[in-house]
Amino acid sequence: MRTSVAGLRALSLAASRAWSGPAQVSADPVLGPVGRAIVRAEDTGAPVADSLQHLVDDLQRDRVIDTEDVARRVAVRSAVPMGLCFLPAFVLVGVTPTVVGAFSTLLG
C-alpha cells in the first residue's frame, strides 16, 4: 500500500486521490486512519502533524489499555494455582496444630 501511495504522490496526484484506497481499508487499523487524517488535513488545510499526533496518542492509549487487560488476566489466572500451592502449607501450619491440640486435651 505504501508503495502505491508513494508512486501516486510522485505522479503529483492529490493526496485525497492517492490515499483514497488505503483510507477506506478497514482491515488495516493503522493505515486506514492515517490515510483519512491525511485526506482530511488536505481538504481542510489543517496541519497533518496535529492529526497524526492524535493518532499516535490514540494508538499508545490503546496499547496501554491492552497491556493492562493482559496483566489483569494473568493475575486472575494465577490466583487458583497460587491458592493450591499455599493450601497444604496452611493446613500443615494452621489446621494440624489445632486438631492435634484438641485431640491431646481430649485424650490427656
Whether residue 102 lies inside any domain: the answer is no
Q: How far apart are CA 26 and CA 31, in angstroms?
A: 9
Whether residue 75 lies inside any domain: the answer is yes
Residue 66: per-residue pLDDT: 94
Q: How far apart are CA 24 and CA 8, in angstroms?
A: 16
Whether residue 105 lies inside any domain: the answer is no
| pTM, entire model | 0.54
Domains: count for the chain? 1
Which residues of the chain fall below pLDDT 50?
A: 1-3, 23, 26
CA distances from 66 to 10, 58, 72 (A): 38, 12, 10
Residue 42: per-residue pLDDT: 79
Whether residue 56 lies inside any domain: the answer is yes
Residue 75: per-residue pLDDT: 86
Residue 64: per-residue pLDDT: 96
Residue 2: per-residue pLDDT: 45
Whether residue 61 lies inside any domain: the answer is yes
Q: Report the amino acid identity of residue 79.
A: A
Whether residue 107 lies inside any domain: the answer is no
The boundaries of the domain holding residue 62 are 2-97
- Phi/psi at 66 (5° precision): -65, -40
Residue 71: per-residue pLDDT: 92
Tell me the pLDDT tens digit for each residue of 57-79: 998 999 999 999 999 999 889 88
Whether residue 103 lies inside any domain: the answer is no
